[in-house]
Amino acid sequence: MKTTNNHYDVVIIGGGVVGCAIARELSKYKTSIAVLEKEDDVGWGISCRNSGVVHAGFNYKSGTLRAQLCVEGNKSFAKLCHELDVPYKKIGKVIVAQKKEEIRELKKLKTQGEKNKVGGLQIIDSAELKRLEPNVKGIAALYSPETAITSPYLLTIALAENALRNGVSFFLNTKVKNIVKLKNSDFRINTNKGEFTSSYVINSAGLYSDKVAHMVEKDKYRIYPCRGEYYVLDKNASWIINHLIYPVPKAGTGGLGVHFTPTIDKNILIGPSNEYIKQKDNLSTTSQIMKMLSAEAQKFLPLISSRDIIRSYSGIRAKQAPPSEGGYWDFVIEESNSVNNFINLIGIESPGLASAQPIAKRVVEIINKKEKLSPNSNFNPFRKGILRFEEQDEETKKALIKQDPDYGEIICRCEKVTKKEILEAIDNPLGVKDLISIKYRSRAMMGRCQGGYCLTRIIELLREKYHLNPQDITLKGEHSSLLTGYRSDEVKIC
Amino acid sequence: MLKEKEVIIIGGGAAGLAAAVACQEKGIEDILIIERNAYLGGILNQCIHDGFGLEKFNSSLSGPEYAQKYIDQVKEKKIPFLLDSMVIDLSTQKEVTVINRQGLQHYRAKVIILAMGCRERTRGAIGIPGARPSGIYTAGVAQELINLKNYMVGKKIVILGSGDIGLIMARRLTLEGAEVITVAEKLPYSSGLPRNINQCLYDFDIPLLLNHTVIDIEGNGRLSSVTIAQLGKRGGIIPGSQRKIACDTLLLSVGLIPENELSREAGIVLDNITGGPQVDERGQTNVPGIFACGNVLQVHDIVDNVSLEAEYITEGILDYLQGRISESQEIKMTLGAGLRYVVPQKIFTIKDTIFSFRVNQPGKKKTLVFEEDQKLIKKKYFPRVNPAEMLRVKLSSSELKDINKLKVKLV
Amino acid sequence: MERKFVCIICPSSCQIKVEYENKTIKKIIGAQCPKGEAFVKNEIANPLRVFVGSVKVTNGNFKLVSVKTPIPIPKKYLKHIGKLTHSLEVEAPVAIGQTIALNLLNEKIDLVATRKVNKIIN
C-alpha cells in the first residue's frame, strides 16, 4: 500500500505481543500498517515479563472473551509457534489441592473448563499426583494436559519480525504525545519522533492503554498496575517438577497464585506474586515478596533450595479491577463508541499471551466489517528464528561449524550460545542494540553466571557491528549505559 | 572419531598450567591442555596487582608475570594446548567433547585433571531487592573490563563485600580516577587479607562498613543509588540504620563458586561446603582417573598454593597411570569444631598428605589438632587464624601410620 | 599519638602498634622482624607504595600492558601517576621488565611492564 508522508491505513500504538499479533494479522491484507512503540524494542512492557504459559482456558468464566479467546488461542498455538519458529511445549499443568476444601474448587474449575470446551481435564488423586509429580506435596489435583509453555519474548519478537517482513513499519523509541481526530475522520498522532496520520488507530498500549484512550475520549478506562515478582531457578533444579504446578486460586486477589513454571529453556520460575502498586513502571523486586515466594516454594516443593536461585525479576499486570476488588474483568476489545475507527484493547492481562492471535483476529474482524479488506497474496506466515546450536545433534553441529566457524566459538558458557547466534541477535531485523534485546534473542547472559563470562565479549561484538563508543552500549534504553568511556580517558583527580 | 590421550587438563589457568608442567616433569608426555580463552593464564591475566609468587618464586609478581613463568615452561617443554576451545561435555568414562572453530572433537583420556576455576556469585543469586539498572557488576567482570579492555565502568562506586577482589578493585578504581564511596561488608570482619585492607582502603580513606549490606537499589536506566543498612547480631536489619548512598556503580565481591558443571555431568560427587569435588589424599575424585586442583576444587586466596596443589596431585596421577592405586578401605575422617571444611574429604591410603582447611571465624592462638579417638596424631599452632586465609598442613605417612580413622578440629 | 598498623611486607601481617609525636617515633610494639620496624617507621615519616596500573598498547595481543613502579614511591603520588598512565601508549611487542616511562613527575618515578604482550600480525 502506498503511503504519503507518514500516513498509514492503520497505526498500532504499543508493540507488545498483542500489538505485534495485530500487526501480523493485518499484514495478511492489503493495508499499510505502522506500529509505534515507545521503548527501544518490542515487548518491553508486559509481554516479555510473564510466565510464558499458554493457558488451556478453564480458569475463566464461561462466555467471557477471556474464556473464548484463550481456548481458541491454545488450540492454534502450536501452529502459530511452528510458523514463527518459536519454542513451544505442551507440558501440562496440575492445580494442586493441599486441603480437602480445595478439592471442591478443583471440581468447579473442571466443570467450567469443560463448559469452555477445554479438553482432557481430569481430577487426579494423591497417588496419581505422586506418579506425575513425585516431589510435589498435595492431596489431589486438577490435571490439564492442554496447557503449554512458550517463550513470551521470542513470540513477541517473532510476531514483530514476521509482520516487518510482510510490510509492517515499526517505529521504535516513538512515544505518542497526543491524538487529534481530523475533519476527514483520519487521526493525527503526534509523537516525539514526528507526526503520523492514519485512518484507524489501534490502542494496544498495555499498561498505558487507559492514557492513550483518554487522548481521544472521555475518562472511561483505568488501568491499575499490579506487580508480580519472580525467582528464576538454575537449570540444575529442573528435575524437581515435570509440569506447571499451581495452587488452588484464591478469589479476590490480583493473580492466579504463586506457581511453579518450568520454562521452555528448562529453568523453573517461582511466582508471580501479586501486589497493586502506584507506579506503572516500578519493576523493583522487594524483600518481603521474595521471602513470601521462598515460603510458598517450601510449601509445595520442599526440595527447592535458595542456592538454586539465579535471578529475580518482575512484571506488571494491566488490571482493570481496582485494588479494593481484585480479581479479573473481561478483556475490552472494541471500537470506541464515541470515536469512530479507534479500537481499544484494554486490560489484556492473563491469558493475554495465549489469546494474542485470536484477539488480533477479532480486531481484524472489526475493521473488515467496515472496510472489506482485500487479502495480501504476498503474505508469508513463516519466519525463521536464530538457530539454537545447543539443541542440534552432533552431526548437525559439526556441519554448522564447518559451514561457519563462528558456530565453533561458545561465548555464553552457561547457556552454550555461540558467536554466530549472538551475531545474529545483534544483527536483528528490528535493529535493536540494547543488551537486553540481545539477551532475549540469543539467551546469552541468562545463565547462572548472569553474563559473568560473556558480557565483555558481547560488548566487543556490539561495538564492532555498530561502531559504538563504549558509553553508547546500553542495557535497556538510552539512560542505561554500561560504561562511562575508556579507562584511559582524561580524568580529574579527586 | 575419538582421540586418545594420556592426560587431559581442562583449563589453562594457574592450576592447569602448574599441573601440566609438573606432569611433564614426572615423565608424562602425552598431555593436552584445553583452554577456552584466546590465551593461557586464566584469571591471572587480569590480576595486574602484585603479591603473587612470594612463596614459589621469592618475589612479588603481578598475575600476568606469574602466569608467564608457567606459560614459558609449557612452551619450552612443548606441552600441547588448545586455545579458544570449550569443553562442552565430560563423561564418567573420561571422554571429553571439545568445540572450537575447527569443529567438534571427542577425546578420551586415562587421566582428566579438572582445573576450570570458579565463577563469581551474582546479584541475582544473593537476592538484593530493588531495581535492575545498568551499573551493577561483579568485581571480576569490572576488573576484566578495566584491565583487559581499557573500559571504565563508572564514576561513583559502592562496593559490597570486603573480599580481596573487592578491595583490589577499590584501589584500582581510585587510581583510575573514580570515587569509591564506601565498602560494605555484611560480616563483622573483613574476608580480605589484612594487607589489602591497609593498601586498598586505609590508604585512600575509603570507609569500611562492617555489619552492613545493600538492601535496595534504585535507578532508572543507570544505577542512581543504593541503600545500605546495618545488620544486628541475628542477621536482621537494625531499624533506622538505613542510609541511601548516591552512586552510579555497585561492585559485588560476594563470593566465588567453583565451576563444576562439567564435574556434575561426569557424575562427580561434590562437597556442599567447598562447592568443589570431594577428593581423596591423591586429589582424585570419586571417578577413578579424574583429579581436581585449584579453584575448581576449593577457592584459594594465594596463587602459590594453587600451583603447590597442582604439583601435589601429580604424584597421585602417576600412581594411577602406573597402576599403583588399589582398592582400599576408607579411613573415616570427621571434621570437628572450628573448621569450615577440609580437603581432602576422604583418605584411602597412607602417604604424605597435604591437608587444606578454612576456619569458621577469626581467632587468635589456635591449635589445629589431628587425632584418632583421643590419641593425638599431630598438632600445629597458629598465632592468628582467619577464614580468608587457607591453612595447609602436611602430615607424613609415618605420622598417619596405622590409623583407622581421623578427626581434625580447631581448639 | 598512637596508631595501629598491619604490616604488609609479608603474609605474616604482624599487628604493630606505634607511639609517636609529630614524625618522631617513641615506641614500636609487635614487630617480629627488622623489616616490620622499618615499615612502620616509613608509614609515619614517608609512606611508600608500589604503583600498579596499565598503559595502552598498539598492535598487541592485549589492549593494555600492566605496569608498576619498580620500587615503592611516595603514597601521595599514586593518583597522579594513575592519571598520567592515561596519556601513555607503547608499541607491541612488550617484554616483562621493559621500561615504559621514565622520571614521571620529575620525581624519578619509572614504570616497567609486568605483562608480556606479543605483536599481532595482521
How far is A374 from A31, CA to CA, in rounded Å?
A: 8
Of C79, C80, C86, the CB nearest to A488: C86
My answer on whether C65 and C80 are in the same domain is yes
User: What range does the domain containing A440 cover?
Assistant: 389-472
pLDDT band, very low/low/confident/very high, at B375 (cuts 50, 70, 90) = very high
- C19 in a domain, yes or no? yes
Chain C CB contacts of A491 under 8 Å are 83, 86
Is there a single domain that holds both residue C80 and residue C36? no
Instruction: For residues A246 and A176, state if they share a domain.
Output: no
At B268-312, the pLDDT tens digits run 999 999 999 999 999 999 999 999 999 999 999 899 999 999 999
Find residue A418's DSSP bridge partners. A410
Q: Is C98 on the interface with A (CB under 8 A)?
A: no
Is the CB of C10 less than 8 angstroms away from the CB of B54?
A: yes
Which stretches does DSSP call E strand in A154-243? Answer: 169-171, 176-181, 187-191, 194-203, 224-233
Using pLDDT thresholds of 50, 70 and 90, give the confidence band for residue A182: very high
- Shortest Cα–Cα distance, C34 to chain B (Å): 18
Calculate mean pLDDT across residues A439-458: 96
pLDDT at residue C122, rounded to an integer: 65
Q: Is B174 on the interface with C (CB under 8 A)?
A: yes
pLDDT in tens, B331-355: 989 999 999 999 999 999 999 999 9
Pair (A197, A229) in one structural domain: no
pLDDT digits (tens, 9 = 90+) for B69-87: 999 999 999 999 999 999 9
- Tell whether A306 and A354 lie within a shared domain: no
The CA-atom distances, in angstroms, between A432 and each of A39, A477, B251 are 10, 10, 27
Q: What is the CATH number of the domain that holds A330?
A: 3.50.50.60
Any idea where the domains of chain B sit in the sequence? Answer: 1-120+256-325, 122-254, 328-411
User: Confidence band (pLDDT; 50, 70, 90) for C4?
Assistant: confident
In this structure, of A22-26, A448-452, B399-403, the range with the lowest mean pLDDT score is B399-403
pLDDT, residue B297, reads 98
| Active-site pick, A7, A55, A243, A259 | A55
Does any domain span residue C18?
A: yes
Residue A58 lies in a domain: yes
Whether residue C119 is contained in a domain is answered as no
Q: Is residue A493 part of a domain?
A: no
Structural domains in chain C (count): 2
CA distances from A475 to A437, A479, B135, B256 (A): 8, 9, 9, 25
The CATH number of the domain covering residues in B328-411: 2.60.40
* Residue A430 and residue A456 share a domain: yes
Question: Which strand ranges, in their side-by-side order, compose the sheet holding C109-113?
Answer: C89-91, C52-58, C64-68, C109-113, C99-104
**What is the domain range of residue C23?**
2-45
Task: Assign residue A441 the CATH number of its domain.
Answer: 1.10.10
Is residue C74 in some structural domain?
yes
Q: Which of C64, C80, C87 sits opposite A493 (nearest CB)?
A: C80
Domain B1-120+256-325 and domain B328-411 have a common topology: no
Does the domain at B1-120+256-325 match CATH 2.40.50.140? Answer given as: no
> Do C105 and C60 share a structural domain?
yes
- pLDDT single digits (tens) B105-128: 999 999 999 999 999 999 999 999
**Residue A2 pLDDT > 60:** no
**A211 and A307 assigned to the same domain:** no
Q: Which residue of B has its CA nearest to C84?
A: B176
| Same domain, yes or no: A158 and A101 | no
Residues A199 and A162 in one domain: yes
Contacts of residue A493 in chain C, CB cutoff 8 Å? 79-80, 83
Residue at C118 is within a domain: no
Strand C73-74 to C48-49 pairing:
antiparallel
Stretch B29-43: mean pLDDT: 97
Helix axes A152-165, A65-84, angle to 10 degrees: 70
The label of the residue with cell 593494555 reads C64
CA C109 to mean position of chain CA atoms: 10
The complex scores an ipTM of: 0.95
Say if residue A241 is in the same domain as residue A256: yes
C71 to chain B, closest Cα gap in Å = 11
A256 occurs within a structural domain: yes
- Does C121 map to a domain? no
Query: Which subunits count as partners of chain B given 3+ CB pairs below 8 Å?
Result: A, C
Instruction: List pLDDT tens digits, range A357-382.
Output: 999 999 999 999 999 999 999 999 99
- A136 with A269, same domain? yes
pTM for the full model? Answer: 0.95
Do A437 and A448 fall within a single domain? yes
pLDDT band at C53 (very low <50, low <70, confident <90, very high): very high
Instruction: State the CATH number of the domain containing residue C58.
Output: 3.10.530.10
Among candidates A285, A410, A487 on the partner chain, residue whose Cβ is nearest the Cβ of B129: A285
Same domain, C103 and C84: yes
Cβ–Cβ contact B91 with A under 8 A: no
What total of structural domains would you count in chain A? 3
For residue C22, the model assigns a pLDDT of 78
C12, C36: one domain: yes
Closest chain C residue by Cα to residue A492: C83
Q: What is the pLDDT of residue A1?
A: 40
**Which CATH number is A122's domain given?**
3.30.9.10
pLDDT tens profile A413-444: 999 999 999 999 999 999 999 999 999 999 99
For residue A3, the model assigns a pLDDT of 45
Is residue C120 situated within a structural domain?
no
Closest approach of A470 to chain C, Cα-based (Å): 15
Interchain CB contact of B1 with A (< 8 Å): no
Task: Name the helix (H) or strand (E) containing A311.
Answer: strand A309-319
Q: Is A479 considered catalytic here?
A: no
Q: Which of C54, C64, C79 sits opposite A493 (nearest CB)?
A: C79
Test the C interface: residue of A487, A489, A491 with most C CBs within 10 Å: A487
Query: Cα–Cα distance between C7 and C17 in angstroms, integer?
Result: 10
Chain B residues with CB under 8 Å of A312 CB are 124, 127, 129
Tell the burial category of B404 from Cβ atoms under 10 Å away from its Cβ (0-12, 13-18, 19+). exposed
pLDDT of residue A253: 67
* One domain for residues C33 and C15: yes
Dihedral angle computed from the Cα positions of residues A468, A474, A478 and A483, in that order, rounded to the nearest 10 degrees: -80
Q: Which residue among C5, C61, C96 places its CB closest to the CB of B68?
A: C96
> Residue C25 falls within a domain, yes or no?
yes
Q: Report whether pLDDT(B326) > 90.
A: no
List of chain A residues whose C-beta atoms are within 8 Å of the C-beta of residue C56? 488
| Confidence label for A494 from pLDDT (cuts 50, 70 and 90) | low
Mean pLDDT (chain A, rounded): 95
- Which of these three, A385, A401, A436, is where a domain ends? A385
The CATH code belonging to domain B122-254 is 3.50.50.60
For residues C104 and C71, state if they share a domain. Answer: yes
CA distance A326 to A274: 10
Identify the band that residue C8 occupies on the pLDDT scale cut at 50, 70 and 90: confident
